Amino acid sequence: MSSNASFQSEINPEMIQNKGFILLDNLFKENGWHLCENKMNKICYTKFGYETDIFDIQILEKEIQVSIPMRNSPYQYVTNFTDYFQACEYLEARFKDFNFENSI
């Protein structure tokens, strides 16, 4: 890691480490969600007051595992993708569904 990247991390600890998900990071933060885990291989979002609702992303060796909350349930739905684009598209759609459903 370059010293500049290290310096940026110290200034803004909420800056997402894995830049492959930066657009999703903006979407989550614009809607009141925050990072609860911020590593290159694991990203996790939750919302204050709804800490059991978790969107979790794990970057594994050969796949990206995505876990999303299920409305009115203590369970998570887990699925896998082979690339960042598919994972991002899926997460964006499910995040919008989840937020819309919770606002009804």
Q: Which residue has the higher pLDDT, 6 or 86?
A: 86
Give the single-character DSSP code of 52: E
The pLDDT > 70 percentage for the chain reads 84
Residue 5 predicted with pLDDT over 50: no
pLDDT averaged over every residue in the chain? 87
0.85 exceeded by the pTM? no
Instruction: At 71, give phi and psi (nearest 5°).
Output: -60, 135
> Which residues are CB-neighbours of 78 under 8 A, at least 6 positions away?
65, 66, 67
Q: Which residue has the higher pLDDT, 101 or 94?
A: 94
| Model confidence band, residue 65 (pLDDT cutoffs 50, 70, 90) | very high
CA angle 6–41–69, rounded 5-degree value: 120
Least confident of 3-7, 27-31, 62-66: 3-7
Domain coordinates in residue numbering, the chain: 3-102
